[in-house]
Each structure stands twice: as C-alpha cells, then as structure tokens.
Structure 1
C-alpha cells in the first residue's frame, strides 16, 4: 500500500468535489476517507464528506460529521443549515428547526430564513 502525500490528498479532495457535482456522492465519500483519516482536523474535508453522506442518504454519518464541524466552527451557518436538512430528512423536525434558526441568525440568506420559518417573518 502506498503512502498518501499532502498533494495526493488535495487532488482527492478536488476530485471528490467534482464527484459531488456529478452526483456521485458515494464516490466522493470513498475519496475523502483517506483524506479525513490523514487530516482529521481539516474542517473543509469533513464538511465535504458530510455533504456526500447526506446526498448518499447516509444520514447518521452525515449528522455525525456535521456535528463535528459545528464543534469546531459553531458559527458555521451552512453546517447548521445542512444539519437541519439532515435532521429534517430523518423526520426529526424539532431538532432541525433549531439548526435552521441558528443558520438564519448567523447568515440571513433567504433559503436559511425560509427554512427557519420564523413566525413573525411569515
């Protein structure tokens, strides 16, 4: 087994982005596994892997990965929004609403605000 290098990890990360864009989330997960294993502190790789898990309907893995990102970056509006979508898809609406509202508070993008469903803004 050959040793992975930093440049290999960058290439794999970029290729995983392309696979997600091409709607191959399982392929992206496969490429990201060694990247995250070698660089567990890399939030961008974890966020990309979380998105790939979500898009491949691996909701528990997606939830865990989004939680890890939020432990490191509690002000990451996108991670809150994506965790909300993950929880919503897992039929956990009350938990999802909390993350949608945090996302909207951190970044009042229209899609985040709409998902938050603030009663006074409806």
Structure 2
C-alpha cells in the first residue's frame, strides 16, 4: 500500500520544438536549479543554432550551477568577446574566475559589470573580491596592465 500523503512530482515534458521552446524550458529548469536537465534541452537546440547567444548564455548558467567552471569560463569569455556590453555575461565570467580563485582576473570583469548595470549584487561582488585580494596581498589584474 502506498502512502497517500506522499506527493510525486509531475514528469518533466518538453512540448514543441525549436530554440524558442528550448530557451523557455531551459530557463525554467535553471530557475528550479536543474542544470543537468537544462543541458539536455539546450544541447540539441545548440546543434541547430550554435551561435544563438541566448541558448549559449543559458548553457553557461547551467555550467556555473554544476560547478563546471572551465566550461562556463570558455562559454562566457566567448560571449563577452562577441558582446562586451553584456553585463550578465561579464558578471558571470567574473564569478566563474572568482570561484576558481583567480581573483585578479575576475575583478576587472566584475567592476565593468557593476558599472554597466548598477546592480547592488554586482557591486557587492566587486567589494568581496577587492577585500579578498587585499587580505591575500595580491595585486589586481588592472594594476598589472
């Protein structure tokens, strides 16, 4: 006899086809912190449209959630190179570098993202990395150039 009080989650379904549906579905999955499932949706869509920046951004987000930091960094670096004004990609790149303890490389990206967006969370990331650099006596990447 099954426990009548235990609820089972509904199965995940992926209605429709195409990059628009993949984007919506993957975004929903990532917001629910299901990066593996999101990648399963994104990869086929990216095979159809490999240059789609929206899908690539979601893939980078999934990599960040899975702590696949080298993959996230590569995807985000390419996105930032293509669109230097994308404050989300720049901030995410900075966070990826920060999580790899590459603070001096992270700081310029975090500073630019904070300046572009005015987002308090971005500003806090700058302060956090600056403090960690000061605590370790490291020099910021900006100071080296």
TM-score (norm 1): 0.85
- Residues 27-106 of structure 1: matches in 2 within 5 Å? 27-106=37-116
Larger Rg: 2
Q: Distance in 2 between matches of 1:10 and 1:57?
A: 26
> What secondary structure is seen at the aligned counterpart in 2 of 1:19?
helix
- Please list every run of 5 or more consecutive structure 2 residues that lacks an aligned counterpart in the other structure: 1-15, 132-145
- How far 1:8 moved relative to its partner? 2.9
- Paired with 1:114 and 1:22, the residues of 2 have a C-alpha distance of 24
Gaps of 5+ in 1: 1-5
More helix by percentage: 1
The reply to whether residue 8 of structure 1 matches residue 18 of structure 2 is yes
22, 25, 29: which is aligned to 1:19? Answer: 29
- Give the paired residue count: 114
Provide the aligned C-alpha RMSD in A: 1.8
Q: Deviation digits for residues 8-53 of structure 1, max 9, x if unmatched?
A: 3322221111111221101111211121221122111110110001
- Pairing partner for 2:121 from 111, 116, 121: 111
